[in-house]
Amino acid sequence: MLATTQLMGLDLGFPDVCLTPPALLPIPYPDMGFPMMAIPIAVTILFMGGFAHNMMTTIPLTLGDFPGVGTGILSHTVVGQSRRLFLNSYTTFLFGTPANRLCSFGLQNMFNIIGFTLVPGNFIVSILAP
């Protein structure tokens, strides 16, 4: 699986069900997180010139659920944070925590939806360790 980096990439969660005005109806939206906004990163480890991501890396803002300003059904937030907590490489450590990679998943828009890393931002470095 390809390692995730600070370069262009995409994390996607669907359906992010948010209450939408004027009647506050629950409507599903796609929720996107962009790894180039992520913090903290492994600042001394570069893959293809981009800083590497590990399990502590958080994307502070996700986009796509703006019309649902009545907040999310579960998290009661709009434009929440995104973290990758599962299917990381638990034997490859970057800055002391497991490395993130393609298809890792976790909570997105705080905990309103499960999101996956679909575009890693790096097309050379693979992390094949379990």
pTM (2 d.p.): 0.88
Q: How far apart are CA 126 and CA 124, in angstroms?
A: 6
| pLDDT per residue rounded down to tens, the chain (130 residues) | 899 999 999 999 999 899 999 998 999 999 999 999 999 999 999 999 999 999 999 999 999 888 888 888 888 888 889 999 999 999 999 999 999 999 999 999 888 899 999 998 899 999 999 8
DSSP label at residue 81: -
Q: What is the identity of the amino acid at 6? A: Q
Q: Which residue has the tokens 């069900």?
A: 17
DSSP label at residue 57: -
Q: What is the identity of the amino acid at 83? A: R
Q: HSE on the CB side for 96, CA within 13 Å?
A: 2
Cβ 65 vs Cβ 29: under 8 Å? yes
